[in-house]
Structure 1
Amino acid sequence: MPARTRRELLKQLGGTAATFAFVAAAGSAAAAVPASGTASGPASATAEGAGSPGAAAAMRRVRGIVARLTLDEKISLVHGATDPRRVGQAGYLPGIERLGIPELRLSDGPAGVNVTKSATGLPPVSTLGSSFNLELAREYGAVMGREGRTLEMDVLLAPQIELSRTPFFSRNKDQSGEDPYLNGLIGAAQVEGVQAQGMLAQAKHFLANNQRLHEFDREKPENSYDFIVDDRTLHELYLPAFEAVVRAGVSSVMSAYNHLNGKWNSEQSTTLTDILRGELGFKGFVTSDWGATHSTAALEAGQDMQMWDGSFYGEPLKKAIKDGSIPEAALDTAVSRILGRYDAFGMLDGSRVPARKRIDVEAGARVAREVAVQGAVLLANDGGLPLSPTALRDLALIGPTAGQVATSVSGERAYGFEERLVSPLAALRRTTGRKIAYEVGVDLTGTAVPASAFPEGLARKGGGGTDKRVDFVGSEALPVGTTAEWTGTFVPPTTGEYALKIQGWGAAVSLSLDGKELTTAAGARDSFARKWSSIVPTTDGLDNGQAEPVELTCGRSYKVVVKATGWAATIAERGRVQVRFAWVTPEQRTASITAAARLARRVHTPVVFAFNGSGGSVGGGGDFSTLTLPAHQDELITAVAKANPRTVVVLTTGCPATMPWRRQVGTILHTGYVGQEGGWSTADLLTGRANPGGKATVTWPKKDTDHPTLDPAHPERYYGVDGVVTYSEGIFTGYRGFDKAAIEPLFPFGHGLSYTEFGYSRLSVRREGAGYEVSFTVTNRGRRKGAEVPQVYVGAPRGTDVEMAVKTLAAFDRVELRPGQSRRVTLRVDERQLSYWDTEGGRWVRPEGRRAVYVGSSSRDIRLTGAAS
């Protein structure tokens, strides 16, 4: 619908009373001002509404400051610059001392504060989302806001609230699943927690940014695909989370990399101005994703700030204003929006919530551990968990993520306090006091490639001479700042699949074979480096670059190049240069699996820890290319299960995985990525000290092609056709798509078992205003305390003008119950959850007719059914 019509609709009260009420609420909430150092709800965290005397006074203050700014000063406030202090943050704006405008520092989220100094390593948002716990989400946000302020940050690039549209999206771990209602509530709660600490939250990435494949070609932007999403789908699936965070008072929104409906997101006046500011009532400022700005025209479209530099909003913008192609009023508007948030948070008059002097490490750790516990999903249980006394007396753990804790993968997160990174194996040994056996099963560290594989040695540039191999670690490490390059002939001893690795610290290292770079590790960003090239570092503490598996031929010569570029003196933890070219040969891989199966055969219970996110599971465009577990882990699990039918599998993944071994394994616990305290949380869950109560936030398909976006009949939905990705499934993605196609999933949305059992009874559904009030009783029928997440879904009425989902999540709660305890639960279904977006009228419409109301433990495990009209 044309932008003009949207504005006209807003002038006519948005077409419905509900829309008008929302816009009014959003306008008030958008001026959120934290009043204390603790997380609070929207009411206590918001300032006066846009039309109040306080808001008018704030507007006058900001206008007065803008009027005193020079053109150069204004421009300095709308684009990134280099921080002279180099503290490791993602972005920086200089201050203007003469007018009392402070510097602004922006830190990566969405799972902790990512700067040079350490911060709490929280589990990723996918784990948080599985808790279905809004208060825990506020605490999660509060930790980030509190620690960000202590670390001198001002804006947190969080929450990430894209929808998990396709299971291949490599950043599904950073968001809370496939349902827009859940996604919005979890995101809004994080905003409240962050901003109550005086830290500005920046929600990302706006809009319909749901895959990396074809998203953005930085080298040739013109090769980036266009993403086509119809207006109804945008409003029903991809806008609700942004609507929710706007109502929670989010200070900033990040525009996404991708093209949307013919234009870059950073230049979309329809979405940035008409929808975000018009329909949703957003009052804050819009920042580009880093490098996502393509012209100065983005300013007039509604993007207020360019990050990370001034390539368009610096000198080019100044030139455009002087020659009249862009009005200075557009710049004034952007600066006013930015300074408006400064003012709302007390950054201009010194009234900002004071930052704490030091990080409360224990407080952060408690939240991280609780998120990991509450976010764990018990997918299947034939009695293998919790581990029995017999199992604990004769237990074996298998897998690299049992021997080392899998906090998360990739960047944009806090690494955590390294001294707290205790593995599940170590935590279980300490918790139980038992000698638990261990086999790696899948070796992610490997061994140094021996001299025999380099018959002519390796010529070293930068240091001269020839080395027999590249294995300069520990006492053999090279001097601080060393830069060297090794070249030579690499001859594998046997034919087969090799896992090649480059490992290092103190230098950025890379590995190339026959002119193709295979992998890198230990690269530094600005002032620091992190050990996250793989899901775990090497067992001796190096960053662990994993190449995609390669097929090599015995006796054939390959040209190998290993590079090490010593860190600059400005990099934290700079020390001696360590570099190692390592491998796992076909024979080593087979031996590891054989050893794991042999161990499983001789113990009562083997527990296999499986992972994804490194070791060959990430494909083109940075996304996953398959839901198959990488590094031959299906082979490992199958061998262990064949050796011992009591095998338990623990999955440390950020997305679904297929399970060809499902019939051989009766107990499966999905911990997700677990954060810095994950060793302890996993031990608690396995032993029964904690009871899993998490629920799946995405549908797990039996095979990749069962998912709506990966349907082979519709390549346009993910892979794209002729440079275009089309969301042709419309609103039918995730569980909605599985329901429409009547496809049985491996595990449905909302699924999650417990060590106890819950019963549902006494359903009551009644009309309450424009929505429903749904009441029912939940009873803990087992012998353990536990948490259940009852979910309310609504069906579609008959005879609607548009096709609606078979069922839609409309309400939920998380209920903690003692053995035998019952609780009456009353949930409200709002009118919005009963409505669809009318594209012709540009409004929400609630269809008439009787609606089925379902209450259950998952989208497919419905316990009670009622109806209302």
Structure 2
Amino acid sequence: MKSIKLIATALISVFIGSCSSQKETPEAIIENKVDSLLNLMTLEEKLGQMNQLSPYNLEELAKRIRKGEVGSILNVVNPEEINKIQEVALNESRLGIPILVARDVIHGYKTIFPIPLGQAATFNPEIAEQGARVAAIEASSDGIRWTFAPMIDVSRDPRWGRIAESCGEDPYLSAVIGAAMVKGYQGESLNAPTAIAACAKHFVAYGAAEGGRDYNSTFIPERVLRNVYLPPFKAAVDAGCATFMTSFNDNDGVPSTANSFVLKDVLRKEWKYDGMVVTDWASALEMINHGFCTDEKDAAEKSVNAGVDMEMVSETFIKHLKQSITDKKVAMETIDNAVRNILRLKYRLGLFDNPYVVTPQSVKYAEKHLQTARTAVEQSAILLKNANQTLPLTDKVKTLAVIGPMADAPYEQMGTWVFDGEKAHTQTPLMAIKQMYGNQVKVIFEKGLEYSRDKNTKGISRAVNAARQADAVVVFVGEESILSGEAHSLANLNLQGAQSLLIKELSATGKPVITVVMAGRQLAITKEVEASNAVLYSFHPGTMGGPAIADILFGKVNPSGKTPVTFPRISGQVPIYYAQHNTGRPANPTEMLIDDIPVEAGQTSIGCRSFYLDAGNSPLFPFGYGLSYTTFEYSSLTLSSEKLTTQDSLSVSFTLKNTGHYDGTEVVQLYIQDKTGSVTRPVKELKRFQRITLKAGESKQVSLSIPVSELAFWGYDMKFEVEPGDFRLWVGTNSSEGLTKDFSVSAL
């Protein structure tokens, strides 16, 4: 065995020497290494590289590694065990190929950041990049070199639990935040010891699962696929994302794991992607359940022929593809290309040179990491309501009642997809308020409800009594972590349990009620907003949620988060999103609603328009919405030109003034509408955003630039181009309001 390895090393060295003499690029050197190693591999060893396992028995795993039957593992996080596994791979297998170790590190490893939906609420790609960088540093210290993030499915249905993992409903925001996460995970260079390979998932359209029910089918035509769901993935490719993952769903009857159109035609041919593609957990095998494959062999063949390189856990590849080669159902070239993509990734990660974990490392929960996570929460929290300047709390509040099941729930506030975070390190709002502001206010704590789904109302009376003794009430409600994430879909988006009753009873005391919601999705909280004097929304904030929220409540931090998703008034409005199409009969803001309709009204008396009789057409809160303790004024909007060509760039300038009494940060947003197209276009599309910080009374001239080429879309003839015509532009504080100007674009 050792002699074979020496021969392999010698052959690779010859190639390297040849490359060096010709001054080839590092990538060319890697390609030569890949090819030389590939030439030494048996078919069985190639199929082994395509096999990823989640081991339950390390001794059995070692046996299989020795035989060359494993290319990657996931869910092993002990660095000593990982080093033993690599020792077997390098010294006891025939060719000494290192194992790629993977783990779901979705929004933090030990230091847990806000869920991705919360990070998107910052409208700050730097926060997303920093969060992924911290996660990579901590995870790589335990030997993890590959993670299954970012999830950049455009998500417009909060019934779907995995919206928590997403960057929201908008393709542009998802593209910008997703690309930043890729850069954070992978760092400056993939072969750096703290870099972990990112994985853009789920490819593609999984966020449109029918009815918001996880794993369900989607029915997205190619034009919508290209205009809405593919752009974030293209941004991930452009950011250098090392791997892609296929999705569970079938789209228009074709499961993504066997969809050669998206995997070959789009990803490989159009986008020239040379990274590695992995299935989702057993998604190859599950194509039998879909009714798309007859058996395991059929599933393996359709997956690899469509462009999948590695199979996660279900092992149909290693069991059946050897026979498929014999049967000429799969070409040897297909296998070689898949293995080439896998080996290329391992070389890019530097695994052949540095396969082992250097232990011990004390990077977990580093003070810098905790501060970065705290800043992320500060920027992600969204102030939805602040009647009569209830917030921030002032020195007039001598006694504060802290109420609710989420006030001191360290596990729950970490949110979904937290395998490695530890609740002992989580700082809750109650803890933070007492520690940071306990010398300013007397804190009375009553949970009222034991957990978010609790229907036992016995504790509410104690909470009401506490409220009566206080000058103000902060009630923490929302969702336990188990209520969002994969397989956690909901039909009803209301607050669970007796939480609504708790807020209602607290409101009846007449004391100012500040409702803080910590959840994994946008909820239908119309009644709760009405019953509250102020509402702060924090998508599950993670480890440092407590201190950040406390500082916001007491005014040390001015909230600046914006909604990355549209909030419905009631569950029945979903899916509801800002970039809708107008229809031939768009809703009228003054439409008569159900309680206003006269008895025996005529069929057409209330107008024949596109809206709900019982909910209207407007959301509770629009996309991009979020208040501040200060106020901002937009004025003097000017365009560089109102007549442009397809080759021009449009510059937009306006004055932003902080007209309030607090320093603050505004997220300015630029939207564009293509008024008439060869196919109908959305009423608005986000094209730029920027965080602007101003002192009280300060004004600033803000400029945003957008190439006209970015107004291109896939039109009637399925060509991606800018169609000359008339456009409308908005700049403002959210997707529903702002200054506007028209401009036109002509062909050269």
TM-score of the alignment, normalized to the shorter chain, above 0.5: yes
Q: Does 1:601 align with 2:468?
A: yes
Q: C-alpha deviations, 1:755-788, integer Å up to 9, x for none?
A: 1111222322225844422122222222322111
Pairwise CA RMSD: 3.1
Q: Contact 2:159 / 2:213 at 8 angstroms: preserved in 1?
A: no
Aligned mates of 2:672, 2:640 — CA distance in 1: 13
* 2:45 counterpart SS class: helix
Aligned mates of 2:118, 2:661 — CA distance in 1: 26
Aligned mates of 1:705, 1:674 — CA distance in 2: 27
Q: C-alpha deviations, 1:233-255, integer Å up to 9, x for none?
A: 10111101101110000000110
Amino acid aligned to 2:155: S
User: How many residues are paired up?
Assistant: 643
Q: Contact 1:394 / 1:605 at 8 angstroms: preserved in 2?
A: yes
Name structure 2 gaps, 5 residues minimum. 1-22, 62-72, 188-193, 286-298, 590-609
Aligned mates of 2:426, 2:131 — CA distance in 1: 19
Aligned mates of 1:123, 1:760 — CA distance in 2: 30
Aligned mates of 1:737, 1:71 — CA distance in 2: 62
Amino acid aligned to 1:772: L
* 1:389 counterpart SS class: coil
Q: Does 1:77 align with 2:49?
A: yes
TM-score, with length taken from structure 2: 0.80
Q: Does 1:164 align with 2:155?
A: yes
Q: Does 1:386 align with 2:392?
A: yes
| Other-structure match for 2:369 | 364
The structural deviation recorded for 1:709 is: 6.2
* 1:403 counterpart SS class: coil
Q: C-alpha deviations, 1:587-632, integer Å up to 9, x for none?
A: xx232222222322332111111112469x6799630111110012
**Residue 306 to residue 129, structure 1, CA distance change in 2 (3 Å):** same
Q: Does 1:761 align with 2:599?
A: no
Q: Does 1:651 align with 2:506?
A: no
The structural deviation recorded for 1:314 is: 1.0
Aligned counterpart for 1:789 among listed residues 657, 661, 667: 667
Aligned mates of 1:645, 1:203 — CA distance in 2: 47
Name structure 1 gaps, 5 residues minimum. 1-50, 114-118, 218-223, 445-534, 536-545, 547-583, 711-728
Relative contact order higher in (CA < 8 Å, ≥ 6 apart):
1
Q: Contact 2:629 / 2:662 at 8 angstroms: preserved in 1?
A: yes
Higher helix proportion? 2
Which of 785-794 and 353-362 deviates more?
353-362
Q: C-alpha deviations, 1:104-151, integer Å up to 9, x for none?
A: 1111031123xxxxx212221111100001111111111111112111
Aligned mates of 1:105, 1:193 — CA distance in 2: 18
**Residue 75 to residue 796, structure 1, CA distance change in 2 (3 Å):** same
Structure 2 counterparts to residues 496-535 of structure 1, below 5 A: none
Amino acid aligned to 1:198: A
Which of 317-326 and 378-387 deviates more?
317-326
Q: Contact 1:215 / 1:259 at 8 angstroms: preserved in 2?
A: no
| Other-structure match for 2:447 | 440
Which of 625-634 and 276-285 deviates more?
276-285
Structure 2 counterparts to residues 823-834 of structure 1, below 5 A: 823-831=700-708, 833-834=710-711
Aligned counterpart for 1:403 among listed residues 393, 404, 408: 408
**Residue 611 to residue 215, structure 1, CA distance change in 2 (3 Å):** closer
| Other-structure match for 2:294 | none
Q: C-alpha deviations, 1:367-406, integer Å up to 9, x for none?
A: 2111111000000111111111112x12101101112246
Which of 327-336 and 754-763 deviates more?
754-763
Q: Does 1:60 align with 2:56?
A: no
The percentage of aligned residue pairs carrying the same residue is 30
Q: Does 1:592 align with 2:459?
A: yes
The structural deviation recorded for 1:348 is: 3.1
**Residue 271 to residue 356, structure 1, CA distance change in 2 (3 Å):** farther
Q: C-alpha deviations, 1:166-197, integer Å up to 9, x for none?
A: 11111111111100000011000010011014
* 2:97 counterpart SS class: coil
Q: Does 1:752 align with 2:629?
A: no
Aligned counterpart for 1:697 among listed residues 553, 564, 573: 564
* 2:567 counterpart SS class: coil
Aligned mates of 1:216, 1:776 — CA distance in 2: 43
Amino acid aligned to 1:390: K
The structural deviation recorded for 1:645 is: 4.6
The structural deviation recorded for 1:96 is: 5.4
Aligned mates of 1:839, 1:96 — CA distance in 2: 55
Structure 2 counterparts to residues 404-423 of structure 1, below 5 A: 404-405=409-410, 408=413, 411-423=416-428
Q: Does 1:238 align with 2:229?
A: yes
Aligned counterpart for 1:625 among listed residues 468, 471, 491: 491
Q: C-alpha deviations, 1:611-663, integer Å up to 9, x for none?
A: 12469x67996301111100121111111111125111111112222222433
Structure 2 counterparts to residues 218-229 of structure 1, below 5 A: 226-229=217-220
Q: Contact 1:180 / 1:240 at 8 angstroms: preserved in 2?
A: yes
**Residue 344 to residue 354, structure 1, CA distance change in 2 (3 Å):** farther
Q: Does 1:845 align with 2:711?
A: no
The structural deviation recorded for 1:687 is: 0.7
The structural deviation recorded for 1:199 is: 1.2
Aligned mates of 2:435, 2:104 — CA distance in 1: 34
Q: Contact 2:417 / 2:485 at 8 angstroms: preserved in 1?
A: no
* 1:801 counterpart SS class: coil
* 1:694 counterpart SS class: coil
Q: Contact 1:198 / 1:353 at 8 angstroms: preserved in 2?
A: no
Aligned mates of 1:394, 1:641 — CA distance in 2: 17
Aligned counterpart for 2:75 among listed residues 85, 89, 98: 89
Aligned mates of 1:785, 1:249 — CA distance in 2: 38
**Residue 400 to residue 708, structure 1, CA distance change in 2 (3 Å):** closer
Q: Does 1:814 align with 2:691?
A: yes
**Residue 422 to residue 379, structure 1, CA distance change in 2 (3 Å):** same
Aligned mates of 1:408, 1:731 — CA distance in 2: 36
| Other-structure match for 2:113 | 122
| Other-structure match for 1:487 | none
The structural deviation recorded for 1:731 is: 6.7
* 2:52 counterpart SS class: coil
Amino acid aligned to 1:850: D
| Other-structure match for 1:145 | 136
Q: Contact 1:233 / 1:731 at 8 angstroms: preserved in 2?
A: no
Aligned mates of 1:868, 1:166 — CA distance in 2: 34
Aligned mates of 1:865, 1:327 — CA distance in 2: 57
Q: Does 1:108 align with 2:104?
A: yes
Aligned counterpart for 2:343 among listed residues 339, 343, 351: 339
**Residue 303 to residue 96, structure 1, CA distance change in 2 (3 Å):** farther
Q: Contact 1:276 / 1:282 at 8 angstroms: preserved in 2?
A: yes
Amino acid aligned to 1:181: Y
Q: Contact 2:164 / 2:416 at 8 angstroms: preserved in 1?
A: no
Q: Contact 2:123 / 2:691 at 8 angstroms: preserved in 1?
A: yes
Amino acid aligned to 1:186: I
The structural deviation recorded for 1:68 is: 1.0
Q: C-alpha deviations, 1:274-317, integer Å up to 9, x for none?
A: 1111222221011011110131120110011000242x111211
TM-score, with length taken from structure 1: 0.69
| Other-structure match for 2:174 | 183
**Residue 622 to residue 430, structure 1, CA distance change in 2 (3 Å):** closer
* 1:626 counterpart SS class: coil
Which of 826-835 and 349-358 deviates more?
349-358
* 1:745 counterpart SS class: coil
* 1:400 counterpart SS class: coil
Amino acid aligned to 2:471: H
Amino acid aligned to 2:203: F
Aligned counterpart for 2:504 among listed residues 606, 613, 638: 638
